[in-house]
Amino acid sequence: MSAPDSFKDKTKVAIVGAGLSGLYAAYLLERQGIKDYLIFESRDRVGGRIESGFVLSDNGQNDVFDLGPTWCWPEFQTQLKNALDRLGITLFEQYETGDVLLERGGLLPTSRQHGYTNQPTSVRLKGGMDQLINALLDCVAPSKIHTSHKVQSITYEASGRIKLDLQVGVKKQPKCITAQSVMLALPPRLAGMIEFSPKLPNNILNQWLKTETWMAPHAKYLAVYDRPFWREKGLSGQARSSRGPMIEIHDASPKEGAGALFGFVGIPASSRKNIPEKVIEQACNEQLVRLFGKQAAKPKKVFFKDWAADKHTSTISDLNASGQHITRTPYVSPLEAPWQNCLWGVASEWSPAFPGYLAGAVDAAERGVRQFIQQQELSNECV
């Protein structure tokens, strides 16, 4: 991203977080001709909860595998569909042809049942979710994005500007910038851990801290093979298990070429943290062999992503979280001075329509940018 000497200390809009919602908010600002903004990301990469694994394919290109969100449902997530269309993203349907395996507990044998197609249809992105992030990066100048920049505190100053204190890099070098407005493109629970001065109203802060972060307690295991051999056996790649460690398994193969299976690990995050990753990976591999046969024994590559161990996603509160999508959207912005009309939550959990989903990130970003523009227009009328 941007070089250290390109750092500006003043901007109109500060976006905290370079995941989908933060990058999409920047994209929307660009579409409105607003170029005075900066993005700050605590990770050393962009994408947030969109993270990918890469495996070199036989044609010399990288096959991309999703370690975070995998699906979307454009049939009813129209805002996301419109965004994907504008960005030129190609979609394909999740492979669901064939039988489903049910692995029961105890001595009960694994059963094979007729598969089914989900309605509405689950859809994936050709080239993985990484394609969406790359398409947005094509629309945002690299100088706008500052990775390894963690926002520690946000202060509303007497001048009417907002000061953001940052820690930069592994050495946590201090920096600060001032902004006119701030968009919080990180989960509410993480936003609530930023030090605000003046303090946020208690009802706002408490609600943010109690809002569960989607993906935070989850872990995914993914195994890559030369081809999706299970399809040759009339299997869809789907499985449900009471034995584990994976409780739900799906076909994760690219549109063409390699085969892949991924599963959600059912061991609770609070227990998982005491188990070495290699032990979990081995148990997952053994489970795939039980279900899909000896061909599953030697994958080309495996990926294990424990989101509960990702400090940029999860907090100690997430170790015992339900892992379900939230049903009540937290307050997007304080109504009290001085934070009203200058501070907005734009991460997916702030979406009243699709909290926690990719579509929620798009929805929340659109709402936040719309509110910012409306406030700018109102301010101009008062001048």
CA-to-CA separations, 82 to 106, 112, 211, 363, in angstroms, rounded: 48, 38, 28, 11
Residue 201: pLDDT band (50, 70, 90) is: very high
What is the model's pLDDT at position 320?
Answer: 81
Contacting residues for 198 by C-beta, under 8 A, at least 6 apart: 156, 338, 339
Chain segment 18-43, per-residue pLDDT in tens: 999 999 999 999 999 999 999 999 99
Q: Are 115 and 100 in contact (CB under 8 A)?
A: yes
Q: With a cut of 90, say whether residue 379 has pLDDT above it.
A: no
Domain 1-50+129-212+325-383 listed as CATH 3.40.30.10: no
Which one-letter amino acid corresponds to residue 310? Answer: D
Fold of 64-73+90-125+215-323: Polyamine Oxidase; Chain A, domain 2 (3.90.660)
> What are the residue boundaries of the structural domains of the chain, listed by start?
1-50+129-212+325-383, 64-73+90-125+215-323
Q: What is the mean pLDDT of residues 8-20?
A: 96
Q: With a cut of 70, say whether residue 323 has pLDDT above it.
A: no
Please report which helix (H) or strand (E) contains residue 156, including its range: strand 149-156
Contacting residues for 255 by C-beta, under 8 A, at least 6 apart: 92, 126
pLDDT > 90 in the chain, percent = 84
Q: Are 344 and 183 in contact (CB under 8 A)?
A: yes
What is the model's pLDDT at position 105?
Answer: 83
What is the model's pLDDT at position 106?
Answer: 80
CA distance 194 to 209: 11
Average pLDDT over all residues of the chain: 94
Burial of 108 (0-12, 13-18, 19+ CB in 10 A): exposed
Burial annotation 65-83 (CB, 10 A radius, 16+ → b, else e):
bbbbbbbbbbeebebbbeb
Chain segment 119-176, per-residue pLDDT in tens: 789 999 999 999 999 999 999 999 999 999 999 999 999 999 999 999 999 999 999 9
The tokens for 157 are: 């100053």
Which of 284, 282, 292 has its CA nearest to residue 239? Answer: 292
What three-state secondary structure class fits 164? strand
Q: Are 202 and 65 in contact (CB under 8 A)?
A: no
Residue 94: pLDDT band (50, 70, 90) is: very high
Burial of 217 (0-12, 13-18, 19+ CB in 10 A): buried
Structure-token match 């009309």, residue found: 341
Q: What is the mean pLDDT of residues 299-309?
A: 97
The tokens for 102 are: 């049910």
pLDDT > 70 in the chain, percent = 96
**β-strands 195-197, 149-156 pairing:** parallel
Q: Are 326 and 357 in contact (CB under 8 A)?
A: no
Residue 116: pLDDT band (50, 70, 90) is: confident
Burial of 202 (0-12, 13-18, 19+ CB in 10 A): exposed
What is the model's pLDDT at position 5?
Answer: 47
CA distance 224 to 185: 32
Q: What predicted TM-score, i.e. pTM, was given to this entire model?
A: 0.94
Q: Are 243 and 276 in contact (CB under 8 A)?
A: no
Q: With a cut of 70, say whether residue 4 has pLDDT above it.
A: no
What is the model's pLDDT at position 381?
Answer: 62
What is the model's pLDDT at position 7?
Answer: 62
Residue 6: pLDDT band (50, 70, 90) is: low
CA distance 81 to 299: 34
What is the model's pLDDT at position 1?
Answer: 65
Q: With a cut of 70, say whether residue 382 has pLDDT above it.
A: no
Chain segment 256-298, per-residue pLDDT in tens: 889 999 999 999 999 999 999 999 999 999 999 999 999 999 9
Q: With a cut of 90, say whether residue 61 has pLDDT above it.
A: no
Q: With a cut of 70, say whether residue 64 has pLDDT above it.
A: yes
**pLDDT: which is higher, 25 or 336:** 25
CA distance 250 to 193: 35
Count of C-beta atoms within a 10 Å radius of residue 361: 33
Q: With a cut of 60, say whether residue 300 has pLDDT above it.
A: yes
Which of 122, 129, 154, 173 has its CA nearest to residue 23? Answer: 129
Q: With a cut of 80, say whether residue 357 has pLDDT above it.
A: yes
Q: Where are the beta strands (DSSP E) in 84-225?
A: 91-93, 99-103, 111-113, 123-125, 145-146, 149-156, 162-168, 173-184, 195-197, 219-225
